[in-house]
Structure 1
Amino acid sequence: MKNSWWILTGVLAVTGCGPSTGVDEESHVAVAALEAGATASVCAPRPYGTEVASTAATTEPTVYGVQGPLPVRVASDVPNALWPEMPITVYRPDDRASYPVLFYSHAYGGSDHTHVAPLLQRLASNGYNVVFVPYMNTGTRNSQYDTLWNGFVAAAKQYGSRFDLTRVGFIGHSFGGGATPEMARRAFADPTHNGLTSAWGSAGRFMFIMAPWFSFPNLKNPTATNDHYRDLPLDVKTVIQVYADDDTNDHLIAVNDIWNKLPPDLQEKGWQLVKSDGCEGQWLNAGHSTPAGYSSTPPGSWDNGHDLWAVARRIHALAAYALKGSGAVARAIAFPSTADALGLGNWKGCGGRAVVPMEASATTPILSACGGGGDATAQEYVFTYSAAAHCTWSDTGAPACR
C-alpha cells in the first residue's frame, strides 16, 4: 500500500500536513494557530476537537445550498420487494408538478433517511424529487446493489409523471458512493438490460460521488480490460469529492475504482478535496462522515458549515447546471477553479477569516497527506479500507474483481 502512494506521486497531486513530528505536538500547534485566527491548512488533530453542530459558527451560502422556497412533503410510502421491511422514502415538493429526480445511495449502515434529512430537505425545497432507498447490511454486493436499483425503479413507477426522468442525478456516499457509478450505468448506459424501456437522463444527467468505498459493477458483457464505466454517456457531469481527514476509505479507491474507469473523454468531471478547519476551539472536521454531518444526537443536528458549503452547495449547483440549464454561476460552484468558487464560507469568530477552502481539479485527483501517507514522512493514521483490499471485499468475480 505504501509503495503505491510513492509510485503515484509523479502523476497525482498530494496536499495536506507534510511531515509530522507527533500527534500531540501537531495538535497543539494546529489549535493554537487556528484559535489565534491564522489561516492554516492543517490536518485535524487526533482526537478531533469539538465539532460545530450547526451553522451558527460560520456564514451561510447564498443562491446554492440554501433552503429553497418550496414546501416539502416527506413520505416513506414506496415498498421495495427486495427489502419489504424498509420502505423507500421520497422527499419532494408538495405539489403535483413534475420535477427532476435525484437518487441518493446512503453509506453502509445509514439506512435511516433522517441521518441526511437536512440535505434531502434542502434539495427538495429547490425543486427536486429526492429518492432515498435503504439497503441491508447483509448479503452480497450484487444483492445490495440490486436492492438500491430496485428501489429507485419502484419509486419512479409509483410516482409516475411527477418524476421527470429525462433529468436525473445520482448521489452517493461511502458504500453508496461506490455504488453510484453502477446505478448511473444501469440508468444511462444499459437501461433495457436493467428493467427500463428507455434511458433516464436524456435531457440532463450527473453523478456526485462522496468518499466512495469499493465499486463493483454488474456487467452484462464484462470486458477483459475491466473498463466497466467506459460506456457511460459522455454528457454525464461527474464530481468526486473526498475528505482530507477520512481515515475510513482510502482516496485511492476513488481513483482506481471510479476516476480511472470513467470515459477518458467525459465532457465534464471534477475532483474535490475538502479540508478540516477550526476556530476558537470549534472544528469543521473533514472526516469520512462529512456528508452525514455532525455524528451525534438528536437527529437533525447534522447541519454544519461543511454540510452546507462543501456538500449541499455543490450538489445543488451541479443539479441546477446539469438538469435545469443554469449557467456560469452554477457551473463555477459545481466545478470550482477560482478562489471565490473554492470558498467554504467564513467563521463568525477569528476575525471573520475564511474557512480553509477546498481544492479541486478537472484533470488530476488530489490526495491528502493527512491519511495513508502521501508526501508525509509518517502516516497520521491508516485507512480502514485500503485500495489494495479491493478484491478482499468483492463477491462479483473476475476480471480483476470488477
Structure 2
Amino acid sequence: MAARADQRARRWRRIGATALVCLAIVAAGCSVPPPRGSLPAGTPGADGPCGVARTDLWNPLDLRHADVLFEPTGDGRPWTGGSCSDDARPVVLVAHGYLGTAPEVYQGLIDHLVGAGFVVVFPGYTVEYGPSHQYEVVDSGFDLGVEASGRVDTSRVGVVGHSFGGGMTPWLVQQIDARGWGSEALWAVTMAPHYVLEVGTGPIELPARTHLAVVNYDEDVVVDARIGIDLYRSATLDPSQKVHVMVHTDRTVDPPLFADHFGPISFEFASFLSNLSTDRGDRWSAWRTVDATAGCAMDGRWCDTDLEDMGTWPDGRPVVRAEVSADPVDVGPPAIQECEFFLNPRPCP
C-alpha cells in the first residue's frame, strides 16, 4: 500500500510539473521528441514540394492578433493536385489552442499543410473566456482569409483544430456548410479537443459528407479525453466517415515518449526550443492523420491508412501503436479540465 501511495504521489508530482512547465512556455509542448525523420514520398505525412508565402491580415472582430494567411508557392506538383502556384487551391482553417495565438506555435503543421498545396488560414483570437465571440472571430477570420487570398477553391475545405480550437471544430464545420463550401470535399481533424460549445447538448449535426478524425492522447493532463470521445460518438456521421485515434505513451524508451496535450505543436523559429521542433512524433500522430483524412475526403486516397501505426525507432523496434476504436474509452490520468466541470455543457460519456 505504501509503495502504491508513493507511486501515486510521484505521478501527481509529474502531472503538476508537466502542467506548470507547459503553461510557462505558453503551451509550447512537453513531449520528449522521438528521432527526426521524414515519411516516404507519396504517403500521408510526407513533406510536400510547395513553398510558403505569409500575409498578415487584421480581423475587425479582434485587432489584437493577426489573421494570418499562408499560401503555397512554386512549380511543384503536390498530392492535392495541380501546381503549387495554381489559382484554385484547397483550403484549411487552423483553429489554435487557447494560448497558441501566434501561428509559430503550429509552424511545423502549417508548413506541412502548405507544402502539400493547401492555402492555410490561421485566425488569432484573444485569450479571454468568451466562447461565442471567440468562435465568431475564428469563423470571420477564415472568411476574411479566403477573400484576401483569391486563390481558394471553396469546394474543398478542411478544418484542423487543437484544444480550445478543437472544441470549436464541429461548429466551424457547420458554418462552412452553411456557406455552401466543401461541396466536393469537407473534412475535419480535432486534436485533444476542449469543451464542444455552441452546438447544443445532444447529437452534433454534421453534413453527411464530412470526414472526421478525433485524436486524443493518453497522458493528456490538460483536457479530459472523454470530451473528444463524446464529440466522436455524438457526431451524426456514418461510422465509415469518422474515426477516433488514441495515441499512447511509449515507455520502452528512457525518458518515455509522452502522448500529451501538445502533440500537434512544434516551434520552428527559436533554436533554444529545438527539442520542440518538428520530429517524427508530429509527422506520425498529427500530420499523417490529417493527410489521411483529407486525402480520403478529397479523392478517396489513403482511406485505409493504418492510423494505429506510429512508425519505428532507429533500431527497428515499433513505436507503441495508437488505438483506433469505434467504442473508445478514456485511459488517461486526471486532467485540469475534467469532463464534469461546470463549463462543459455536454454530457460525459
TM-score interval for Structure 1 and Structure 2 normalised by the shorter chain: 0.7 to 0.9
User: What is the CA–CA distance in structure 2 between the aligned matches of 1:264 and 1:121, rounded to whole Å?
Assistant: 30
CA RMSD of aligned residues (A): 2.8
Matched, 1:133 2:111: no
Shift of 1:51: 4.9
> Is 1:97 aligned with 2:87?
yes
Instruction: Give runs of aligned pairs for residues 63-74 of structure 1, distance below 5 A.
Output: 63-74=43-54
- 1:248 aligned onto 2:214: no
Contact preservation (8 Å) 2:189, 2:214: yes
Letter in 2 for 1:215: V
AA aligned opposite 2:116? N
Gaps spanning 5+ residues in structure 1: where?
A: 1-19, 29-44, 372-381
Alignment counterpart, residue 327 of structure 2, candidates 337, 361, 364: 364
> Equivalents in 2 of 1:358, 1:346: separation in Å?
13
Q: Deviations over 1:233-279 (max 9, x none)?
A: 111011100000001111111233x2233115465100000011145
Using the aligned pairs only, state the percent identity.
23
Name the residue aligned to 1:331: 303
CA distance in 2 between partners of 1:51 and 1:269 (Å): 27
Equivalent position of 1:377 in the other structure: none
CA 1:234–1:117: 2 relative to 1, 3 Å: same
Q: Shift of the alpha carbon at 1:23?
A: 6.2
Normalising by the residue count of structure 1, what TM-score does the alignment of the two structures yield? 0.72
- In 1, Cα distance between equivalents of 2:287 and 2:116: 11
Counterpart-to-counterpart distance in 2, 1:265 and 1:112 = 35
Residues 208, 237 of structure 2: 8 Å contact kept: no
Given candidates 273, 278, 282, the residue that maps to 1:307 is 282
Question: Contact 1:60 / 1:309 at 8 angstroms: preserved in 2?
Answer: no
SS at match of 1:241: strand
- Specify which of 80, 84, 89 is matched with residue 63 of structure 2: 84
- Could you tell me which residue of structure 2 aligns to residue 168 of structure 1? 157
CA contact (8 A) 2:104 2:267 kept: no
For the structure 1 residues 144 and 214, does the alpha-carbon distance in structure 2 shift closer, same or farther, using more than 3 Å as the test?
A: same
Sort the Cα spacing of 1:393 and 1:298 in 2 relative to 1 into closer, same or farther, 3 A. Answer: farther
The answer to whether residue 319 in structure 2 is matched with residue 355 in structure 1 is: yes
Residue 346 of structure 1: SS of its match in structure 2? coil
* Closer, same or farther: CA 58–21 of 1 in aligned 2, 3 Å: farther
Q: Partner of 1:388 in structure 2?
A: 340
Cα distance in 2 between the residues matched to 1:27 and 1:316: 38
TM-score, length of structure 2 as denominator length: 0.82
2:311 is matched by which residue type in structure 1?
G
How far apart in 1 are the matches of 2:195 and 2:129?
16
Matched length: 316
Shift in Å, 1:27: 8.6
Conservation of the 8 A alpha-carbon contact between 2:159 and 2:173: yes
Q: 1:70 to 1:275 in 2, by over 3 A?
A: same
SS of the residue aligned with 1:84? Answer: strand
1:343 equivalent to 2:309? Answer: yes
Tell me the alpha carbon deviations over residues 91-116 of structure 1, each in whole angstroms, 9 at most, x when there is no partner.
22112431111101000010010011
In 1, distance between residues paired with 2:186 and 2:237? 18
Q: For residues 74 and 270 of structure 1, do their structure 2 counterparts lie closer, same or farther at Cα, with a shift above 3 Å needed?
A: same
The 5 Å alignment of 1:285-296 reads 285-293=258-266
Q: What pairs with 1:3-402 in structure 2 (closer than 5 Å)?
A: 21=4, 24=7, 51-53=31-33, 57=35, 59-62=37-40, 63-76=43-56, 78-94=57-73, 95-160=85-150, 162-188=151-177, 191=178, 196=179, 199-217=180-198, 226-227=201-202, 229-230=204-205, 232-256=206-230, 258-263=231-236, 265=238, 267-278=240-251, 280-293=253-266, 298=272, 301-323=276-298, 325-327=299-301, 330-333=302-305, 336=306, 341-348=307-314, 351-361=315-325, 363-368=326-331, 370-371=332-333, 382-389=334-341, 391-392=342-343
1:85 aligned counterpart, secondary structure: strand
Higher relative contact order (CA closer than 8 Å, sequence separation 6+): 1
Residue deviations 1:341-390, cap 9 Å, x none? 52111111xx32110011102x212321x31xxxxxxxxxx21111111x
Whether the 8 Å contact between 1:360 and 1:366 is mirrored in structure 2 is no
Is the CA contact 1:274–1:310 (under 8 Å) kept in the aligned structure 2? yes
Counterpart AA for 1:248: V
CA contact (8 A) 2:109 2:266 kept: no
CA deviation map 1:187-218 (0-9, x unaligned): 11xx2xxxx4xx11000111101111101116
For the residues of structure 1 that align with 2:149 and 2:319, how far apart are their CA atoms? 41
Over 3 Å counting, the alpha-carbon distance change for 1:283 and 1:130 in structure 2 is farther
Q: Give yes or no for contact 2:248–2:320 (8 Å, CA) kept in 1.
A: yes
Q: Is contact 1:92-1:125 (8 Å) kept?
A: no
Query: Would you say the 8 A contact 1:185–1:229 is kept in 2?
Result: no
- Counterpart-to-counterpart distance in 1, 2:273 and 2:171: 30
Amino acid at match of 2:254: G
How far did 1:303 drift? Answer: 1.2
Q: Deviations along 1:148-206, whole A, 9 cap, x unmatched?
A: 1110011111112x101100011100000000000001111xx2xxxx4xx11000111
